[in-house]
Amino acid sequence: MASTLNRLLETFARIGATPDGGVCRLTGTPEDGGARVRLAAEILSRQFGLHVDPIGNMFGIATLAPSSQEAVLVGSHLDSQPTGGRYDGVYGVLAGLLAIEAVVARAAAEPGKARRNLVVANWTNEEGARFQPSLTGSSVFAGMMALDAALGLIDGAGVALGEALAAIGYRGTADLPLEPRRYVELHVEQGPLLEEEGIEIGVVTGCWAARKLSLVFHGEPSHTGPTRMARRRDALRAAARAIELHHQLIEASGSGAHASAARITVDPNSPNVTPSRVQVWFEFRHEEAAVAVALGDAFLAEAQAAVAPLGVDIEIAVDEQRGTASLDPHGAALTTAVARELDLSSMEMKTIAGHDALALNKRMPASLIFVPSQGGLSHNPAEFTDEAALDKGLAVLTEVLWQLVTEE
């Protein structure tokens, strides 16, 4: 029989379902709104308080210690990539909801033990697929991004994030009325390491660094028919040259860095006009921040030299650097101990992907727990983690939360 968690995952997978078995729930779309409405219903059905803050973060509040303003937060996100799977993000939200439900029942059976309250969170625009940058809601909550700047983020159609949230009824007016003390996030790994090592629980101690560059290639529009080749200033040709150079640089470096050029826009995007403006999003990830920065510097210098003969200029639209970070050592030690008590194997590891826990770690001690991803596949409709692994993660999360709300 399917577990309660798996049944909930099946329910949410139908919201924004795509024909290939995946989900597409971009932030602020009707699909995102539908998932939020369902989460709100799940929160209220458990007699938890429902709160939405000004950036649209959703909170389900379980009062365990009425005299305390302190709270332990747990959660993740409901939004997805256009080619999303059914576990990324939503697993952490639903497991957080069920874990809190179990802790509430235990607290009722052991009155007086709970010293602080629990809150499950759905963070707005974690993925950054429709609005950039990613980790928007958690960054505003952590004080790393101004609310007005976040609400003013514009998508490709010129719609602001604030407008999109208002359209689906999830732009709140007040901050969370509790003082968050710790944050815990449960997530599928999205990589192959746990599966390769045969380990059940990943204890994330920190993250890789990332450098994200968005470059604009400026050329000149001209008719693709009569304009002589030597006369053309083709921005798309320049971008293609830079993309290939980007991959060659990574391969030649032997650094073990992960890099991509994964998004591109072309103007005027007509088959009969030489592209005059092309924007490409590049990124470099490495365990050492200095390596990610150096690779970006080398790429910028080589790209400028490579496209100059084409008569195309390069503008740096975005140069975002995310350094390495260490997550809460107490939370990591606690997770390891809980896994051992539950007779589950665990290992310490670092996350290469970004998660809300990394943003929230700027405001409070944050922990991140992984369960295996089959084949290391993510941001793909075929993303999969089996039910037993999901339930093991939930068991660890539940005990970790109990320890955090009862410890001195």
pLDDT in tens, 163-195: 999 999 999 999 999 999 999 999 999 999 999
Tell whether 38 and 57 lie within a shared domain.
yes
Q: Which two tokens stand for residue 318?
A: 């975005």
Tell whether 382 and 293 lie within a shared domain.
no
Domain boundary among 322, 349, 371: 322
Tell whether 316 and 350 lie within a shared domain.
no
Tell whether 168 and 58 lie within a shared domain.
yes
Tell whether 175 and 288 lie within a shared domain.
no
Domain boundary among 298, 322, 346: 322
Confidence of residue 1 (pLDDT cuts 50, 70, 90): very low
Task: Tell me the pLDDT tens digit for each residue of 284-327.
Answer: 999 999 999 999 999 999 999 999 999 999 999 999 998 999 99
The residue written with tokens 């602001």 in the block is: 160
* Rounded Cα–Cα distance for residues 207 and 286 (Å): 9
* Rounded Cα–Cα distance for residues 127 and 90 (Å): 12
Task: Tell me the pLDDT tens digit for each residue of 8-65.
Answer: 999 999 999 999 999 999 999 999 999 999 999 999 999 999 999 999 999 999 999 9
At 258, which CATH number? 3.30.70.360
Strand partners for 213: 282, 319
Q: In which domain, by residue range, is 163 found?
A: 4-208+324-406
At 153, which CATH number? 3.40.630.10
Tell whether 263 and 154 lie within a shared domain.
no
Task: State the average pLDDT over residues 389-398.
Answer: 98
Asked, as a colleague might, if the bond just before 133 is cis with ω within 30 of 0, I would say yes
Domain boundary among 254, 288, 322: 322
Tell whether 84 and 119 lie within a shared domain.
yes
Tell whether 164 and 52 lie within a shared domain.
yes
Tell whether 214 and 202 lie within a shared domain.
no
The residue written with tokens 């650097």 in the block is: 321
- CB-based burial label for 153 (10 Å; 0-12, 13-18, 19+): buried
3-class secondary structure, 252: helix
pLDDT at 128 over 90: yes
Q: Please state the domain count of the chain.
A: 2
Check: CB of residue 199 under 8 Å from CB of residue 134: no
Strand partners for 267: 277
Tell whether 203 and 215 lie within a shared domain.
no
Tell whether 80 and 103 lie within a shared domain.
yes
Q: Could you give the angle at the alpha carbon of 170 between the alpha carbons of 172 and 17, nearest 5°? A: 160
Task: Name residue 261's amino acid.
Answer: A
Tell whether 214 and 147 lie within a shared domain.
no
What pLDDT, on the 0 to 100 scale, is given for residue 408? 85
* Rounded Cα–Cα distance for residues 185 and 73 (Å): 9
Confidence of residue 2 (pLDDT cuts 50, 70, 90): low
Report in angstroms the alpha-carbon separations of 399 from 103, 264, 282, 336, 407: 8, 44, 40, 11, 12
Report in angstroms the alpha-carbon separations of 279 from 197, 213, 263, 266, 382: 39, 10, 8, 7, 29
Please name which of 243, 192, 193, 195 lies closest in space to residue 217, comparing C-alpha atoms. 243
Task: Tell me the pLDDT tens digit for each residue of 357-379.
Answer: 999 999 999 999 999 999 999 99
